[in-house]
């Protein structure tokens, strides 16, 4: 197929309407209903056709209509009011600024809060008008920036601009996924080109093998207060093959992907430097990698420090680690981004990409069990002093999965924390529900205070509201289903039936997400007869709307979609189950608003968090989900249902059988009966009690503003303090830490602990709570007592030598030297448990700039 190149001619706006340009360009419109309404009012039909995208409305509205509006006093007054509101939103102090003031008032240093944070991600889902995402990871990144904006957190987003985005999905007549790659025209999107003082486009350069350069221009999108920089290699100065580096998201082979990641990471840092210089934006102190893809950003920052601050690699690494936060998103080992080591050699060996950075050091950062592979997640963990998973359960799974990087430590001590994802309320909440939650009181989102309580509203009114949202979804289902059938080759005449699919009174269940195997899109089809019976039940039927894209290279995922489409094509059930092609943000919103139940049945624990169920909950949808990701943490027995899992069953087919059967039982015996249990006035009172409880209790917890505040407090602030410590006194801190690490590395293998004794003072049969004394001989080799922490570790023992429920207490060196230069360490502790206990003594590194004792992955136990 021929790829058509598009270009856009901007309409000249009459002078009185000039402010519309700013309102259309700042993507705050995407979560600000008054701005959306203003643009829709310009030309309602056009607005409907272009999904409310203000840039397209301005580009396509007839000039005569603009002239008319230019003389319409009431329209001009509304435009002015909304412009003023945007200006206030962009300039008034918000949560972050109030925190700074508060610190200053208390006499604390307001500079504890970083001056800026750079947030790197391979995808950003801000709005469907900027289709630069594939799924949850990108939408999360978009929500992160939006909430940062609402909270006033000074963030800069960094990623790539893909000419063809991810892809548009259709289905063939026999149900196979068909991909289209319409080419986007950035000049028609809400983007500005980054230019220098002379008005020339800034070109970022990164070296490629064979003495070539990869150049990229930089588009900036404005997400409220937060700029988003998107690098675009499609510039005439590039060789043809290099122009295509940013052609598609997640398309192409490993070579293509590594070029994208080099551009995003190395080029991304260079773009940030240009942006800060030109826009007068403070330089980021903290760099946050959303997944490992942008990990090369750490190498570029090491290069900068080596070149401009005359640090060596180790000193620079100490500095970079202090200021880096890494968030891992996949508990699926196969989902981790790895490259053949040869490929790294190919791109890095001539030294032009990162002058002064030793290739061997680079390779060591990504080393993993397989010596032929370079592991981007391992590099992320080695480049970041702070790392986290995205739900409590995923934190635990990640600590297990990456425990090998911290040998000798119990998985509970592996330094990977958890920050549970959240979703941007103002983006995902239907306007009507948002009002109930008090959103409208605080312009531009919840401003970090958390949504207030559910306003008083009767069950009947709340139910009416939910029914309205369900009806809106059904309208969308019919429209999209019809379009899909037309696209599959049906004629208008045969499609009258699509006007009556779905029933506004029937329990509506939504299932939409990407289609990797672990998400099990077709679990509900495991026993087709049972599903059929639920759909067609005479008293208590259900209806199901299903959507999702499969990665274009994933034939297995496409087979799942085909299975689903073929089931839904059956004339007997097609009025109760539909597959809607081309799941994206514009479809998603209708599903989250209107589904009574949001279904999620991943293979536990492979769903890191899952966020679609949070968006449904924000609108009063009840989750029916496997206890995985966020649901494991937030399910409370009254905000939805947990599908029982058969984790222990090794055979996946049998596990699917068991879990599918549990799902049918749950829906047939609990969910549907509750939905159809009505009061005299037709309201399902017990159902509404669960809806209320969901809105009131989950509403505040699932917010991205809660998530971003957690990142600020637990990651960005400590990281900024670490950077300050490392760079103090002309980088004396980094030099000191690097010297310490070298000393530990040189001497650690000779550190020994021996002759541990635990002395039960009074009696031979100690009682819980008795104080015991512990001593041990420690040879510190070349290290000083101040370099280490010597601890007694005591806990329960079972049949193995593993300790559980441990307490660790530091011992102090006595002045009496033991044998051969060893120091005697002593201390005491109260026995914490009754029963069978065990203990050992261990030596850990200690340094003020380490975030945890496990950080260096070094520990010596008593012999
Ligand atoms: C929220 C969202 C997702 C992520 O959903 P999960 O439940 O995490 O799979 C994917 N796609 C779109 C369009 C979304 O809005």
Q: What is the pLDDT of residues 289-316, one digit of tens each?
A: 999 999 999 999 999 999 999 999 999 9
Which of 806, 807, 813 has the alpha carbon at shortest distance from 780? 813
Cα 79–chain centre separation: 34
Evaluate: CB of 521 within 6 angstroms of ligand 1. no
CA distance 817 to 722: 36
Q: For 86-104, what is the mean pLDDT?
A: 94
Domain-embedded: residue 441: no
Evaluate: CB of 295 within 6 angstroms of ligand 1. no
The three state secondary structure string of 697-731 is: HHHHHCEHHHHHHHHHHHHHHHHHHHHHHHHHHHH
Question: Band of the pLDDT at 1, cuts 50, 70, 90?
Answer: very low
Which atom of ligand 1 is nearest to 140's Cα?
Answer: 1
544 bridge partner residues: 509, 577
Quote the pTM value.
0.96
Evaluate: CB of 621 within 6 angstroms of ligand 1. no
Evaluate: CB of 139 within 6 angstroms of ligand 1. yes
Evaluate: CB of 618 within 6 angstroms of ligand 1. no
Q: What is the DSSP letter of 605?
A: T
Evaluate: CB of 585 within 6 angstroms of ligand 1. yes
Q: How far is the CA of 428 from the centre of ligand 1 (A)?
A: 11
Per-residue tokens: 695? 């809105």
Shared-domain flag, residues 125 and 63: no
Shared-domain flag, residues 679 and 804: no
Per-residue tokens: 135? 């799924």
End-to-end distance of the chain based on CA atoms, in angstroms? 69
* Ligand 1 pocket test, candidate residues 139, 331, 390, most atoms within 8 A of CB: 139
CA distance 689 to 675: 11
CA angle 450-451-455, nearest 5°? 155
pLDDT score of 449 more than 60: no
Which pLDDT value is given to residue 678?
A: 97
Domain end call among 36, 59, 91 = 91
Evaluate: CB of 628 within 6 angstroms of ligand 1. no
Provide the number of structural domains found in the chain.
Answer: 4
**CATH code, 651:** 3.40.50.2000
- Phi first, then psi, for residue 381 (nearest 5°) are -70, -30
Beta-carbon-side half-sphere exposure of residue 508 (alpha carbons within 13 Å): 29
| DSSP of 353-390 | SSTT--HHHHHHHT--SSTTEEEHHHHHHHH-SEEEES
* Ligand 1 pocket test, candidate residues 513, 551, 585, 631, most atoms within 8 A of CB: 513
CB atoms < 10 A from the CB of 722, how many?
25
Q: What is the pLDDT of residues 715-752, one digit of tens each?
A: 999 999 999 999 999 999 999 999 999 999 999 999 99
Q: What is the pLDDT of residues 628-680, one digit of tens each?
A: 999 999 999 999 999 999 988 999 999 999 999 999 999 999 999 999 999 99
Which of 160, 128, 122 has the alpha carbon at shortest distance from 141? 122
Shared-domain flag, residues 307 and 181: yes
If you search the block for the tokens 């397989």, which residue do you land on?
370
Q: What is the DSSP letter of 17?
A: G
Domain end call among 91, 123, 142 = 91
Shared-domain flag, residues 120 and 71: no
Cα 394–chain centre separation: 12
Shared-domain flag, residues 22 and 153: no
Domain end call among 666, 694, 722 = 694
CA distance 550 to 472: 26
pLDDT score of 447 more than 90: no
Q: How far is the CA of 585 from the centre of ligand 1 (A)?
A: 8
Evaluate: CB of 136 within 6 angstroms of ligand 1. yes
If you search the block for the tokens 């502790």, which residue do you land on?
829
Q: How far is the CA of 101 from the centre of ligand 1 (A)?
A: 37
The radius of gyration of the chain's CA atoms, rounded to the nearest angstrom, is 29
Shared-domain flag, residues 521 and 660: yes
CA distance 631 to 627: 5
Which atom of ligand 1 is nearest to 610's Cα?
Answer: 8
CA angle 247-249-253, nearest 5°? 80
Q: What is the DSSP letter of 488?
A: T
Question: Band of the pLDDT at 436, cuts 50, 70, 90?
Answer: confident
Question: Band of the pLDDT at 440, cuts 50, 70, 90?
Answer: very low
Helix (H) or strand (E) holding 76: helix 73-91
Domain-embedded: residue 406: yes
Q: What is the DSSP letter of 191?
A: -
The three state secondary structure string of 750-812 is: HCEEEEEEEEECCCCCCCCCCEEEEEEEEECCCCCHHHEEEEEEEEEECCCCCEEEEEEEEEE
Domain-embedded: residue 574: yes
| Cβ atoms of residues 125 and 85 within 8 Å | no
Domain-embedded: residue 440: no
Range of the domain at 161: 112-337+380-418
Domain-embedded: residue 743: no
Shared-domain flag, residues 315 and 411: yes
| DSSP of 400-422 | HHTGGGSTTS-GGGSS-EE----
Closest residue CA from atom 2 of ligand 1: 136
Evaluate: CB of 588 within 6 angstroms of ligand 1. yes
Domain-embedded: residue 701: no
CA distance 853 to 413: 9
* Max Cα–Cα distance, the chain, nearest Å: 98
Shared-domain flag, residues 298 and 264: yes
Domain-embedded: residue 646: yes
Evaluate: CB of 584 within 6 angstroms of ligand 1. yes
Closest residue CA from atom 1 of ligand 1: 612
Q: For 753-767, what is the mean pLDDT?
A: 82
Shared-domain flag, residues 636 and 551: yes
Helix, strand, coil shares of the chain as percentages rounded to 5? Answer: 45, 20, 35
CB atoms < 10 A from the CB of 307, how many?
14
Closest residue CA from atom 3 of ligand 1: 136
Q: For 427-455, what is the mean pLDDT?
A: 64
CB atoms < 10 A from the CB of 373, how many?
17
């Amino acid at each position: 197929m021929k790829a058509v190149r598009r270009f856009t001619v901007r309409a000249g706006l009459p002078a009185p309407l000039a402010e519309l340009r700013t309102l259309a360009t700042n993507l705050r419109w995407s979560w600000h209903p008054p701005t959306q309404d203003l643009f829709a009012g310009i030309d309602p039909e056009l607005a409907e056709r272009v999904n409310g995208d203000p840039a397209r409305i301005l580009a396509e509205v007839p000039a005569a209509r603009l002239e008319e509006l230019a003389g319409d006093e009431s329209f001009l007054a509304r435009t002015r009011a909304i412009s003023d509101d945007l200006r206030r939103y962009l300039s008034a102090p918000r949560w972050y600024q109030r925190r700074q003031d508060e610190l200053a008032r208390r006499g604390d240093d307001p500079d504890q809060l970083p001056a800026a944070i750079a947030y790197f991600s391979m995808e950003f889902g801000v709005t469907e008008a900027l289709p630069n995402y594939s799924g949850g990871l990108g939408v999360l990144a978009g929500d992160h920036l939006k909430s940062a904006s609402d909270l006033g957190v000074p963030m800069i987003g960094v990623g790539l601009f893909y000419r063809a985005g991810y892809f548009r999905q259709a289905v063939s007549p026999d149900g196979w996924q068909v991909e289209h790659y319409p080419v986007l025209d950035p000049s028609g999107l809400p983007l500005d080109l980054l230019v220098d003082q002379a008005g020339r486009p800034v070109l970022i350069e990164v070296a490629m093998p064979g003495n070539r350069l990869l150049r990229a221009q930089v588009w900036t999108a404005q997400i409220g207060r937060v700029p988003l920089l998107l690098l675009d290699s499609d510039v005439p100065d590039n060789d043809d093959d290099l122009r295509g580096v940013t052609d598609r998201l997640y398309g192409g082979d490993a070579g293509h992907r590594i070029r994208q990641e080099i551009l995003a990471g190395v080029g991304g840092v260079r773009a940030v430097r240009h942006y800060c210089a030109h826009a007068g934006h403070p330089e980021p102190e903290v760099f946050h990698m959303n997944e490992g893809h942008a990990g090369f950003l750490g190498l570029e920052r090491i290069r900068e420090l080596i070149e401009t601050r005359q640090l060596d690699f180790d000193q620079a690494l100490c500095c970079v680690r202090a200021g880096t936060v890494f968030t891992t998103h996949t508990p699926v080992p196969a989902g981790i981004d790895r490259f053949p080591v040869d490929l790294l050699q190919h791109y890095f060996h001539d030294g032009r990409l990162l002058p002064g950075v030793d290739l061997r050091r680079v390779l060591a950062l990504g080393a993993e069990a397989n010596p032929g592979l370079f592991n981007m997640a391992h590099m992320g963990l080695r480049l970041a002093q702070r790392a986290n998973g995205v739900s409590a359960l995923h934190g635990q799974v990640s600590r297990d999965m990456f425990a090998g990087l911290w040998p000798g430590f119990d998985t509970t001590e592996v330094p990977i924390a958890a920050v549970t994802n959240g979703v941007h309320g103002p983006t995902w909440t239907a306007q009507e529900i948002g009002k109930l939650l008090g959103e409208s009181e605080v312009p531009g989102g919840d401003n970090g205070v958390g949504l207030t309580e559910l306003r008083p509203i009767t069950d009947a009114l709340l139910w009416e509201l939910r029914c309205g949202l369900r009806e809106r979804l059904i309208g969308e289902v019919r429209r999209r289903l019809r379009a899909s059938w037309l696209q599959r080759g049906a004629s208008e005449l045969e499609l009258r039936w699509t006007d009556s699919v779905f029933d506004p009174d029937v329990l509506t269940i939504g299932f939409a997400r990407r289609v990797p195997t672990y998400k099990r899109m077709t679990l509900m089809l495991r026993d087709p007869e049972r599903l059929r019976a639920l759909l067609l039940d005479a008293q208590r039927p259900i209806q199901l709307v299903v959507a999702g894209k499969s990665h274009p290279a994933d034939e297995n995922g496409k087979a799942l979609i085909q299975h689903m489409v073929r089931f839904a094509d059956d004339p007997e059930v097609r009025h109760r189950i539909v597959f809607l092609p081309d799941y994206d943000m514009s479809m998603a919103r209708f599903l989250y608003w209107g589904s009574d139940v949001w279904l999620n049945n991943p293979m536990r624990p492979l769903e890191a968090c899952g966020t679609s169920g949070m968006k449904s909950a924000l609108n009063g949808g009840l989750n029916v989900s496997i206890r995985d990701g966020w649901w494991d943490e937030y399910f409370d027995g009254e905000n939805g249902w947990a599908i029982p899992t058969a984790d222990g069953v090794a055979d996946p087919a049998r596990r699917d059988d068991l879990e599918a059967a549990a799902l049918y039982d749950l829906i047939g015996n609990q969910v549907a009966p509750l939905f159809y249990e009505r009061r005299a006035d037709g309201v399902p009172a017990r159902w509404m009690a669960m809806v209320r409880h969901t809105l009131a209790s989950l509403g505040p917890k699932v917010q991205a503003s809660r998530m971003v505040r957690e990142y600020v407090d637990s990651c960005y602030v400590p990281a900024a303090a670490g950077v300050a410590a490392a760079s103090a006194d002309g980088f004396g801190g980094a030099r000191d830490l690097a010297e310490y690490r070298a000393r530990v590395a040189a001497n650690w293998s000779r550190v020994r602990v021996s002759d541990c004794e635990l002395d039960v003072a009074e009696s031979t049969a100690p009682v819980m709570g008795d104080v015991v004394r512990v001593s041990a001989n420690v040879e510190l080799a070349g290290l000083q007592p101040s370099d280490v922490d010597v601890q007694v570790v005591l806990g329960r023992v079972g049949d193995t030598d593993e300790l559980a429920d441990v307490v660790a207490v530091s011992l102090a060196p006595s002045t009496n030297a033991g044998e051969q230069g060893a120091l005697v360490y002593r201390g005491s502790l109260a026995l914490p448990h009754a029963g069978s206990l065990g203990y050992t003594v261990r030596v850990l590194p200690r340094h003020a700039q380490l975030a945890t004792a496990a950080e260096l992955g070094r520990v010596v136990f008593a012999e």
